[in-house]
Structure 1
Amino acid sequence: MSAELDRRKRHAVDVSLDDLPTLQLEDVADESEGTLVARGAAYAKEYAVVQGKATTLLKNLAVTQVALRVKYDDMRGQSGAYRAVVADMYAGLGLPEERVDQMQATVRYHIGNIIRRHMTPRELEEAGLRPETPIERQRDERAARAIVLQAHKVTKAVEESTPPPRSRKKAEGDNSAQPAGHVVKATADHLRLAEVALNMLGKFDRNVIKTHMTDGQRAQLDKELRDMERRIASLRKLTQKPSSKG
């Protein structure tokens, strides 16, 4: 192993960012294996260093913008004065608009995390800001997507395990009409579907409903919830034991 490292060191490639050209395949076609490996390792190392510095720079840029929001008493960053001074900050960069947009999107992500470390829940609520950090929202969004995907899979499984209407009529009162394994799978799928439905309801964010929805959106959600209640009540008639008569 040490002999291999020594061989690579002898073929070390100097990678400098001061005047870094874009390589073409013909530029390295005649290089030896050792030189190519050393060159690749040097580029990878330099990239890691640059990425680390870039993250720190963007976090520091986010701190300056949070400080500006404090000075303008505008923690949401929506006032004309704040927007103008930040626009001036980026105006002289001389970068393509797409790169500036990407940079600002990353900075806003860091701003969201910084603000929620320095403001109390009450201050966030008064400013009209959600208490969750962007990191927490990303985690919640991933969990919500996973639940939706699971719901799709379980729903499909239930549809496949449920007999068509004609077969269902034949099966009424005659459990032998379907294989035992099919019945077991169908019942298990229905229990999984109920579990998924409960998990999805657990993902509703009270703060979003209370603070961020419009009156029309809340009315639409209320209608959907009423429909859910009716369907649940109808299904519970099948799951509850009949009351004993005298």
Structure 2
Amino acid sequence: MNVEELLTRYAAGERLFHKVDLAFVNMSRINLRDIDLTAANLTGANSIGITLYRANLYQANISQANLSQANLMSANFGECQALGANLSGAILRSAVLGGANLTGASLRGADMRDANLLRAILIEVYAVNANLQGANLTEVKLCQINFTQANLTDANLTQANLSHANLTQANLSWANLTEANLEKADLKGADLSGANLSCANLHLADLSGVSLKGANLRGANLHQANLRGTNLKEANLREAMMPDGKISD
């Protein structure tokens, strides 16, 4: 199907376009709010600034597509394939991305507040300055992600895998990182005040200059972690393994 046919049928009131093939087409700046593109193929599509507000793209393929500056608010991208997709500056607020594969995608400056990414895959994603305040990142694979200066305030990262992640100067205040894997993560200058890091793995993590004021680190693994200049005022370190390998009382 070409874009002209899609727009004609959409203008006539049609909204169901399941499994439509729109690979490598130009869909920039068009408004397709409430469209149903379940299992559609949008591989490599040029969709800069497209509006897909409340659209359904469940199990769609948007790999290598350019959706930068797109309005994807409240859209459903559950279980979609988005390998290498460009979502820089996109509005994904309250969007559903549960089980989606965004390996190698760009989320630079994206607005993902309150988004649901349960069990999604975000390996080697570039998410500098992204806003994920209040987002659900439970059990998400975030290995080697670049979250530099990202806003993860109040985010749920329970059992998330953040090994080797770059969280330099990220805001993780009041985030839930219970049982999260932060082994060898770079957290220099990050704000983790009030965060829940109970039973989290921070082995070999760089926590230099980090604020952990009031954080819950009960049972956390801080073995060989760098705590130089770290603010641990009022932090709960009971039963935590300290950098020297000793268990805190």
Q: The TM-score by the shorter chain falls in which range? A: under 0.3
| TM-score between the two structures when normalised by the length of structure 1 | 0.23
- Structure with the higher fraction of residues in helix conformation: 1
RCO higher in structure (CA 8 A, sep ≥6): 1
| TM-score between the two structures when normalised by the length of structure 2 | 0.23
